[in-house]
Structure 1
Amino acid sequence: MKKNYLLLAVLLFISPLFLKAQVATLSEKETLSLLCYKWEVTKIQSFQGVMKVKPRGDYTMFNSDFTMESKEDDKIKKSKWSFSFPEKKVTFEDDGSVYKIMDLSTSELHLKGKWSGEMVVLILKRVTK
């Protein structure tokens, strides 16, 4: 059991080295054009393992004017976000939380940061409906 946790910990912190190469090749314009969509969390990866998140209609939508809309527990919240291109970091203005983009494609987004006091990788899929 300890081996599984150790392996997960190693993968959690080594995997960004491999994912970084994919994100690093995108220009700022390409990154923003891929990011500015509606996303929903599908998995949360932490030291304790990977937890699948059941779809409930919750989402985060990044707009190109750096406004955002989130829906959680049937409550819609509007806020602002910012993006630091060299570091590939997204900052949520309402609570100051910062997430690093680890992977980004037309269908999936991986954000690494503190969530509920724990370092996690949020795995989101693009909402196409």
Structure 2
Amino acid sequence: MDRRAAFSLLLVLLVVAAGTVFVLDREAQRRAIAAEETRLQTELAASECVTTYGTSATVSDESASVVGRSLDGWTVRVSHPYWYSTNRSHTDASSESVYVVGVESVRYVGGESVGPTC
């Protein structure tokens, strides 16, 4: 194989690899957003003084970005809107959390607590 053909093949392989990483990044982001929505609903439902709550967009839209890749999976930073009401107040907010998304798992690794202190 001459140099030009080898270079062309290398370029094709790089484009395919970049496309694969993009697809995998998007899937990791999607799974992390879904996990964050579940976490928000679980925490808000468990709060004794929350009367109603939701995870629909109010002050911001949901977003996710891959901030690292390792053998453990993709590290994804997630922001997700939520709101809740108590007998005394109503709050619209947005969470900030980090997840590690593996092939078969999504693990919460940190972020802020949500909901009021009752």
Interval of TM-score (by shorter of Structure 1 and Structure 2): 0.3 to 0.5
More helix per residue: 1 or 2?
A: 2
Q: Please report the TM-score for the alignment, with normalisation by the length of structure 1.
A: 0.32
Q: Which has the higher strand share?
A: 1
Structure number with larger C-alpha Rg: 2
